[in-house]
């Protein structure tokens, strides 16, 4: 059985200080007023803890979390069935990738969110009007700007998750080391935190990968996640010193060859990946100063060119 290293309480949720404070305030105010927790939308890159926080909030308010992916909600009937699953006060309906909801679905959610009523025309022409128990709608998205403004405005809490600092990732990893009962050195954990892109999910995956390397090469690494076994793991997985993976470098190489600003679709076609994958990757490249987004398009920076040159030298040694 896989050990779950995710935090279970708000006290154990590290980082995202402003978001945690907003959640604490909303939870206490709702309890005093006898109201359900306010509707909440969470934006930010994947792996930063949006789903985990939704479950923590459900735990904190002694509620129930009903989780759905947006692509599973395609019709009024799907919404009707979803609302029918609400059985108690403090029920949270959590919709991941909520930006993918059809516009007609978001419009049906307007009155449900504001008045706790659901009115819709079903297949066959039947019209239903249903009073709903108070509930909380939570949404998670990597693309907050893609949500319709009238829908977005109905969320009282709007929060945006930011990448974690290296120190925060280090602390998260130390906790994971204990929960997973992994033998690790502080230098090894620090090396992992430096290349995890500020994303806990990535950091935990790298920790488990480094553990596997230390086990597979036990004669060399003595089953310990150390700086040397971590370096071996990064080498095997082709993760460079800045935490770049193969896709990141392919994007930079393409921009270097282009020698002029290019648009998202051009980059996507050039490296044979979809737009959303490119956007997630380039957000890290922008943050590390390797890529610049201008009004004319994306360009590689001098720092990006220098990094590619250094990587090539390492590969040729």
CA atoms within 13 A of residue 159's CA, in its CB half-sphere: 24
In a domain, 174, yes or no: yes
CATH number reported for the structural domain that contains residue 215 in this entry = 1.10.8.60
* Pair 45, 137 in one domain: yes
Residue 126 confidence (pLDDT) above 90: no
* Pair 49, 126 in one domain: yes
Residue 313 confidence (pLDDT) above 90: no
In a domain, 4, yes or no: no
| Listed residues 160, 189, 212: the one ending a domain | 160
Work out the pLDDT band at 259, boundaries 50, 70, 90: confident
pLDDT at 4: 82
| Listed residues 123, 139, 160: the one ending a domain | 160
Work out the pLDDT band at 315, boundaries 50, 70, 90: low
Instruction: Show the tokens assigned to 200.
Output: 């806990």
Residue 33 confidence (pLDDT) above 80: yes
* Pair 182, 133 in one domain: no
In a domain, 241, yes or no: no
In a domain, 115, yes or no: yes
The whole-number average pLDDT for the span 178-193 is 96
pLDDT tens string 64-113? 999 999 999 999 999 999 999 998 788 999 999 999 999 999 999 999 99
pLDDT at 1: 44
pLDDT at 175: 95
| Number of domain units in the chain | 3
* Pair 146, 25 in one domain: yes
Rounded to the nearest integer, the mean pLDDT of the chain is 93
Residue 212 confidence (pLDDT) above 90: yes
pLDDT at 310: 87
Q: Which residues contact 272 (CB under 8 A, 6 or more apart)?
A: none
* Pair 32, 104 in one domain: yes
Domain that holds residue 117: 10-160
* Pair 188, 97 in one domain: no
């Amino acid at each position: 059985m896989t050990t779950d290293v995710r935090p279970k309480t708000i006290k154990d949720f590290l980082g995202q200080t402003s978001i945690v404070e907003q959640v604490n305030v909303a939870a206490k105010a709702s309890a005093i007023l006898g109201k359900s927790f306010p509707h909440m939308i969470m934006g930010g890159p994947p792996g930063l803890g949006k789903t985990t926080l939704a479950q923590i909030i459900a735990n904190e308010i002694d509620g129930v979390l009903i989780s759905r992916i947006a692509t599973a909600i395609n019709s009024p009937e799907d919404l009707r069935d979803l609302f029918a699953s609400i059985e108690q006060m403090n029920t949270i309906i959590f919709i991941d990738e909520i930006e993918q909801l059809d516009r007609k679905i978001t419009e049906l959610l307007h009155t449900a969110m504001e008045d706790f009523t659901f009115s819709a025309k079903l297949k066959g022409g039947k019209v239903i009007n249903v009073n709903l128990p108070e509930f909380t709608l939570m949404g998670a998205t990597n693309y907050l700007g893609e949500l319709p403004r009238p829908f977005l405005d109905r969320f009282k809490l709007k929060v945006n998750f930011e990448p974690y600092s290296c120190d925060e990732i280090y602390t998260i990893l130390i906790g994971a080391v204990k929960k997973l009962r992994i033998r690790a050195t502080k230098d090894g954990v620090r090396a992992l935190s430096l290349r995890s892109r500020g994303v806990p999910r990535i950091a935990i995956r790298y920790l488990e990968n480094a553990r596997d390397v230390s086990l597979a090469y036990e004669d060399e690494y003595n089953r310990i996640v150390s700086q040397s076994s971590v370096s071996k793991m990064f080498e095997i997985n082709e993760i460079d010193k800045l935490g770049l993976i193969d896709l990141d470098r392919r994007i930079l190489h393409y921009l270097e060859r282009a020698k002029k600003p290019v648009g998202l679709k051009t980059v996507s076609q050039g490296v044979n990946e979809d737009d959303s994958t490119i956007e997630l990757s380039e957000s890290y490249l922008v943050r590390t100063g390797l890529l610049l987004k201008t009004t004319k398009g994306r360009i590689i920076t001098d720092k990006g060119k220098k990094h590619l040159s250094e990587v090539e030298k390492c590969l040729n040694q």
